[in-house]
Structure 1
Amino acid sequence: MRKRNKWIAAGVGLWLTGAVCIGSGVFLDNPSSALTRVVQAATQSETTQGQIDAANKKREQLEKERTELKKTLSSSESKKDNILQYITTLDKKMDTLTDKVKSNEEQIQLVQSTIDELLLQEAQVTAKMSSQYETMKERIKYMYEDGTSGYLELLAGSSSLSEMYNHLEYISKISEYDQKMYGEYESTKQKLTKTKKNKQAKKDELVATKETLSFEKQSVKQLISKKKGQLTKYNNLIADSESSISTYDVKIAAQENQVENLLAQKRREIAAEEAAQKSSPSGNSPNGTDTTTSQTPSSNAVSTSGFIWPLATAGRISCGFGPRTAPTAGASTYHKGIDIATPTGTIVRAAKAGTVVTATYSASAGNFVAIYHGDGVYTYYMHNSSLRVSAGEKVTRGQTIALSGSTGISTGPHLHFAVYAHGSYVNPLNYVSR
């Protein structure tokens, strides 16, 4: 009896569902007789009801999966927006670095022009010194190498003591003039040489800055490329999610059609049962009550060069200088320094006294320091966990400048130590040893 009541209730619910789904396709001539038809048809439609339950369950599962896809889509779109904002920031940084590189190159050209002018002036002064020196040699030769007769004749030929004194003073003044001019030329040359040396040092600093800027620019370029790759990935994820959602929409619509078709089949079964009852002598309609319910769906949304080892401990050289296989995405295939494996927090020290030209963070080098040691030689210390010096600071050999780490593009805690000398990177082991 309870099983039959269960199917009666199911039949009532199903009938009401059919009314909701089909709308004007359901006609209720008499609620009581309609309920009677449902009650009589219920025992004959268990198979159809099972199909309806299964179809509804599948539709609910599809809708649940679609909701998860929507969440994935929303997450992908959010990440895409973040990447776009980051790329915009990187583009601005790239523009700033480009402007700095351009300004730096202009300064280098200006300093080089000054150096060229100083070289020209130095050459001119050297030529004048050479000419003055030759003149002095000729006079000395005349007065000393050719004998003293000419000198004595000049004095003896004087018509008076006053004239002889004048001749002596003249000869003395010529000698003083020669010495004075030569001394002035020598002084001028020394000043030019000193100025040229200072300008060359300035140029070396600018070249180092250019190298640093170019390094940062390349790092930003690599990061932009990486982010654009991620952007493509999320664009593909979004496209795939949207396509999958569209597919789920089609499947859900098809499932809804199947449910409606099953409901239509249920109504046909009810109609057939009603027709059978009408033809039966005992086809009386029992009394019943038409009960309607409303449901609202919800959703949830120190070496010979004067350099010392850059670490307070020996460490282990994990990668040498020169060609290599890139150890991780974004790393170069030509290693411009050496990697020294060491625990995070190891003291990193200045290999030689100098001036800190850079102490900053780079996407690829992480926290890094660059020190200029003079004579066109620089040292670089990369991937540090923290820095202990600032740009412009003078450091002594062995001074703590950072603590080692694994920042930037890195596969583990280590120090990347590089030496840049006279326009190119060189093997650091030519300068330091453990």
Structure 2
Amino acid sequence: MAVAIAIAAAPLTSFASSLEDEQKSYEQQAQQKKQKSDEIQGQIENFSEVKRQLDEEADKAIAEHKQCKAALDETEGRMKENSDRLDVLGKDYEQKSDRLGTRVRDIYMHGQISYLDVLFGAKDFGDLMTRMDLLKRVIHDDYELVHTVLDEKQEIETRQAELEKDKKTQAEEEQKTRAAREVMEQKVAKQKALIEKMKSDKAVFDQQYDELMAASKQIADMIRGSHYRVEPSSGGGSGSGGMIWPISGPITSEFGWRTHPITGDQRFHSGLDIGGDYGIPVHAAQGGTVTYAGWISGYGNTVIIDHGGGITTLYGHNQSLAVSEGQSVSQGETISYCGSTGNSTGPHCHFEVRQNGEPVSPYGYL
């Protein structure tokens, strides 16, 4: 962006007309920035709606994953309880196995005769019936003992198998829902990052719009006011050749049409960009009178010098200024210090030469 202010001895009507044309140009550019900002705002709203839908899908995926995770945790909890139960049953199994082994060894060693001895040793019929009842209970207990041990063993094995099967199924389901959740969370994060970038882009266009409108207002003030006008300088050069370079450095951007380094738009570059370091002195290209020393939107800290004969020079993006309005300067005198204020991507001196308000190539004057 550039605000070109030509303060020279040309007729006031011509000067005002040039400023009005430049004001219209900046207002047109401002409207273009506003249009781009509005377009991005519409895109932000569309992407925000997409993000809202993604949020809903992500919430659903998160809920499904939590449900599967809870089921898996519950199964693992049951397996823990079952493991504890298995320890108890294992000890009970060992005890009953020992009792059963003792009973078997007793039968093996003494044989069934021990039961007959018990029966035949009865003193009378009543004693016989009592002994028979006792024998039935012993035999029944032996039977129950064996089957209890076997049933409990079967119960342990069945429960363990069921839990292992449940755990495997639920673990697979939990893994799938976790993967789906992660995918949705990544989509939401990408959409959020995209929206944030678009908001940042919109902020850039809004800032450029504000700067362009500020430049338009500044030019309008210059058209209405008279405090920028000074008498033509009598100490300046002829305005054709004889100028010196304001700083020594490489040309980083030529005069003419170029791609703007910040906005990416094709724009007419009204001067030369000369690379330099922060704080190095910027010298007057030719003697004359300082007609402006201050901030101009886009240019940052700016100095404009009237050299007479309709020729002015402009020095932009300065870190600081060393002169003031109305001051006479000599060729080579330090007028400012190199910087990167305004719309700039690095320290340099933006150097313009204008003839009757129109930008011309500085090469013809250097």
Given the two structures, how large is their TM-score scaled by the length of structure 2?
Answer: 0.48
